[in-house]
Structure 1
Amino acid sequence: MPHERVLLEVIATTVADAQAAERGGADRLELVTAIGEGGLTPSIGMIEAVVAAVAIPVNVIVRPHSRSFIYDSNDYAVMLRDVRAAKLAGAHAAVIGMLTPSHEVDREGLQRAIDAADGMSLTFHRAFDEARDLQEAFDVLLGFDAVTDVLTSGGKPSVLDAPAQIATLVQRAAHTHCTVLAGAGLTLDRVAQFVSSTRVRAVHFGSGVRIDGKGLAPVDENKVRRARNLLDA
């Protein structure tokens, strides 16, 4: 396996989470609020405070509600404002995703978000996992240079149940501008074997690096450090 370092992204919901993740060796943060709803757009104050508190990149989720990933014109009015505001507040990237009623990538909506991002990169989030056909959806996303990461659990509730799907996506992403970011359900005791079997180069931890493994608990710096050490080994 090449010795290219595996990127470690950790979900933060507070400034303290962000600082603990950075101390533990996280490469990047995904900043969200309402982690129990899968993550919603954090406040401007939160984005600014986290960006000021850490030196690592802060990717900010832009998701106005948790009803679905099919958005109407009012939702887009909010999301495009939030993309611009996150960029102004110092975000490294916006984490966003949108589907059509037939569960394909909403190309038009994605292009609007890219235009609003004005050069800031985008991560397409786990709306991807609800796409009708993951391979087709991934090919669509590869057509957008601004989409540098796709966060996915391989279409399963836990990414640990989708090693074959992740490995296939990783192969498809090879030599492209886009990175497969594997997340949802990753645990410290299984991450090393998962990375080595799928060849994935970026992983995303939420509850797996939190106190007692609970989503609403704070980030545990020592668990982040353990994840970092397992990935580096």
Structure 2
Amino acid sequence: MLLEVIATTVNDAVTAERHGADRIELITGIFEGGLTPSLGLIEAVREVVSIPVRVMVRPHARSFCYDAEDIAVMLRDIRRIRAAGGLSLVTGVLRADHSVDVELLERLLEAADGMDVTFHRAFDEIPDQTGALDILSQYKQITDVLTSGGKPTAPEGAERIAVLQRLSSARHKPAILAGSGLTAEGLEDFLEKTAVGSVHFGSAVREDGNPLRPVDPGRLEAVRQILNTWKR
């Protein structure tokens, strides 16, 4: 059972690794849903942790549609993240009609040059999520789809997440990474309903559940313990 934890600082990343995370999503702008962190932070985190790190590539929080200048920034960020070595990416791009922007996605994947990629919660703005999962499955670099099932939180979207998980398992599509609003208290019920194999935690494993506070070892260990004892 994979546990991905959001980190916004070097200390977050170190604490996450020490207390049970399998992978880090490195971002800034946590209130905006995650933006591209600085190159200095990326390099510093890469130097101090040994678990996988996926770096957000998202230039702004206005939408998931990007103009030519945004795209140039995203491509530049991807190339620099790739040059840092040993990292993977988190990104997501949509057209104005909220479908996957396939042309732009392919440009970003080409720049990533084989790096693993999570398609992030832009996915939750797509009306036809099963169709979108079919599209994303055409790209081997896309290993995960982060989703709350089209709802504000993953518990609210549990029914849709269960459907996506069944499709992912049966047809060898990207793994479903469930995130948003998950807590230790409701985790077992959520796992029972969805059968997901990967979960993503942010605020719920921080001090007082506050997104601007550091990762809390006790809260993170509580989630890790549930996942370690969960019987699928």
Give the TM bin, normalised by the shorter chain: over 0.9
The yes-or-no answer on 1:57 pairing with 2:52 is yes
Distance 2:117 2:172 in 1: 15
Q: For 1:104-183, list aligned pairs within 5 A.
A: 104-174=99-169, 175-183=171-179
TM normalised by structure 1 equals 0.96
Q: 2:182 aligns with which of 183, 186, 189?
A: 186
Deviations 1:43-68 (A, max 9, x none): 00000000111110010000000000
Could you tell me which amino acid in structure 2 is paired with residue 198 of structure 1? T
Aligned CA RMSD, in angstroms, stands at: 0.9
Tell me which of 193, 197, 211 is aligned to 1:197: 193
- The residue type paired with residue 98 of structure 2 is H
**2:198, 2:13 → 1: CA distance?**
18
Matched to 2:59, the amino acid is P
- Residue number among 22, 35, 40 corresponding to 1:40 in the alignment: 35
Per-residue CA distance 1:106-129 (angstroms, 9 max, x = gap): 000110011000010110000000
Whether the 8 Å CA contact 1:41–1:60 is kept in 2: the answer is yes
Partner Cα separation in structure 1 for residue 121 and residue 88 of structure 2: 15
Give the Cα separation in 1 of the matches to 2:64 and 2:154.
20
What is the deviation of 1:165?
Answer: 0.3
Please tell me whether the aligned partners of residues 36 and 55 of structure 2 are also in contact (alpha carbons under 8 angstroms). yes
- Residue 40 of structure 1 aligns to a residue in which SS? coil
Letter in 1 for 2:18: R
Alignment of 1:90 onto 2:85: yes
Contact 1:102 1:132 in 2 (8 A): no
In the alignment, structure 2 segments of 5+ residues that lack a partner are: none
Match of 1:230 in 2: 226
Q: In the alignment, is the contact (CA less than 8 A) between 2:133 and 2:173 conserved in 1? A: no
Aligned-residue offset at 1:36: 1.1
- Distance in 1 between residues matched to 2:131 and 2:212, nearest whole Å: 34
Alignment-derived partner of residue 75 in structure 1: 70
Structure 1 residue aligned with 2:9, among 14, 37, 55? 14
Structure 1 stretches lacking a partner, 5+ long = 1-5
State which drifts further: 98-107 or 167-176: 167-176
Q: Structure 1: how far apart are the matches of 2:111 and 2:201?
A: 28
Q: Deviations over 1:1-43 (max 9, x none)?
A: xxxxx10000000000001111111000000001011110000
Q: Where has structure 1 moved over 6 Å in runs of 4 or more?
A: none
Question: Matches of 2:219 and 2:48 in 1, distance apart?
Answer: 20
Q: Which amino acid aligns with 1:173?
A: S
Q: 8 Å contact 1:125–1:151 — kept in the other structure?
A: yes
Please state how far the C-alpha of 1:92 moved relative to its aligned partner: 2.5
Match of 2:204 among 208, 221, 226: 208
- Distance in 2 (CA, whole Å) between partners of 1:108 and 1:147 is 15
